[in-house]
Amino acid sequence: MLKRLVLSLIIAGLFIKPSYSQSLSKQRFNLTIYNIGVGALVGGAGGFLNKDPNERALKSILRGMGVGAAGGSLVAFGKSITYQITKSEALEFAWLARLTNAAGSSIIQNAYNNNKWWTKWNLNALGMHLEYDVPNNQFRGRVLFSSFITTLVLAKQAKLNVGRTLATGVFFYEKDGLPKGFGLIGSGIGVANSIAVDTNVEAGSRNEFYSLVAHEIVHTLQFDNLYWANPLFKRLDSNLKNKSRLYSNLGKYIHLDLNGALHYLIYEVQKSQPWGCRLYEREAEVFSNRIVPPCN
Ligand SMILES: [Zn+2]
């Protein structure tokens, strides 16, 4: 019962909206604090849920909050690096942003699991979920399930640009027209480990193209931030593995992530608001383009 209450609190925390402000510096500050706060909340809750039996609850909550907050600040820093894509018109900064953000998300996941902050590192890249387990010196690479789904939806309507895929670390699709899918339609879409952009944007303005890509890259970072949600279903996962050999064998090659479903759900909740008021859109614009979108 208590565990369920704590889990509900974490999920509820994701829906807290940092206050809206027209001033860019205030908005950047609020969103940075929001990312640090979510890291602290997830780390603190995990510290409590996964504490050692002999440990005092307060001690493990505070430790989890501290480690989670540190991870949250790296997450925000990773998102702010995407501005370099817009400013320098260089797609390669996406890698730096993705690596920094993945390091922050991994630290938050370690805090959630009540492990040392450096225990496990995750990275989603090129449709794969890569994990490095430091104490066991074990590396594992598996197909990222959500990315597999987005590839199916985007490949049907748009063309993969291999050079840009390698330059950014996400599947990069291009379409002559507005890409659509998952209830979204726009000059760009960023879902799971893929982005799709309308080629007419680049034909019209080079800088607008880079600012669009930077914006969509932030959406892929928001997806990666939800790594910590996967351990919530650890028990269900191991039960299924014991019961089904097929499930257990598939798990060796496919990472059945919850990031996609949770990301979709969080965005769905925001969709009733005007575009510029949605937390995920505001965060993407403020970090990647240093613009506060109008909210009305
Ligand atoms: Zn967007």
For 59-89, what is each residue's pLDDT tens digit? 999 999 999 999 999 999 999 999 999 999 9
User: Who contacts 110 (Cβ-Cβ below 8 Å, separation ≥6)?
Assistant: 67, 71, 116, 117, 118, 119, 120
Ligand 1 center to residue 283 CA distance, Å? 9
Ligand 1 center to residue 174 CA distance, Å? 16
Mean of the pLDDT values across residues 130-138? 97
Give the pLDDT score at 149.
93
Ligand 1 center to residue 275 CA distance, Å? 8
Mean of the pLDDT values across residues 147-170? 96
Torsion of CA 61, 63, 66, 69, to 10 degrees: -60
Do 115 and 51 contact (CB within 8 A), yes or no? no
Give the pLDDT score at 292.
94
The mean predicted confidence, pLDDT, of the chain is 91
Give the pLDDT score at 21.
75
Ligand 1 center to residue 282 CA distance, Å? 8
pTM: 0.92
Give the pLDDT score at 236.
77
Per-residue model confidence as pLDDT tens digits over 88-102 = 999 999 999 999 999
Ligand 1 center to residue 142 CA distance, Å? 27
Per-residue model confidence as pLDDT tens digits over 174-220 = 999 999 998 889 999 999 999 999 999 999 999 999 999 999 999 99
Q: Which helix (H) or strand (E) holds 121?
A: strand 120-125
pLDDT band at residue 158 using 50, 70 and 90 as cut-offs? very high
| Residues above pLDDT 70, as percent of the chain | 94
Per-residue model confidence as pLDDT tens digits over 230-276 = 766 777 778 888 888 888 888 899 998 888 888 888 888 888 889 99
Alpha helices in the chain (DSSP H): 2-14, 24-49, 57-81, 83-88, 93-112, 145-155, 162-168, 199-204, 206-224, 234-243, 245-250, 259-270, 279-289
Give CA–CA dist 20/48, Å, rounded. 32
Do 217 and 190 contact (CB within 8 A), yes or no? yes
Per-residue model confidence as pLDDT tens digits over 52-61 = 889 898 999 9
Lowest mean pLDDT segment, chosen from 25-34, 47-56, 202-211:
47-56
Angle at 227 between CA 226 and CA 229, to 5 degrees: 70
Give the pLDDT score at 258.
83
Mean of the pLDDT values across residues 127-148? 96
pLDDT band at residue 296 using 50, 70 and 90 as cut-offs? confident
CB atoms within 10 A of CB 149: 17
For residue 4, pLDDT over 70 is answered with: no
User: Who contacts 246 (Cβ-Cβ below 8 Å, separation ≥6)?
Assistant: none
Ligand 1 center to residue 296 CA distance, Å? 16
Ligand 1 center to residue 190 CA distance, Å? 7
Do 124 and 224 contact (CB within 8 A), yes or no? yes
DSSP at 181: E
Ligand 1 center to residue 195 CA distance, Å? 11
Give the pLDDT score at 2.
63
Give the pLDDT score at 9.
65
Ligand 1 center to residue 179 CA distance, Å? 12
Burial (CB count <10 Å: 0-12, 13-18, 19+), residue 3: exposed
Q: How many C-alpha atoms does 38 have within 13 Å on its Cβ side?
A: 27
Give the pLDDT score at 67.
97
Give the pLDDT score at 143.
96
Query: 19 or 140: whose pLDDT is higher?
Result: 140
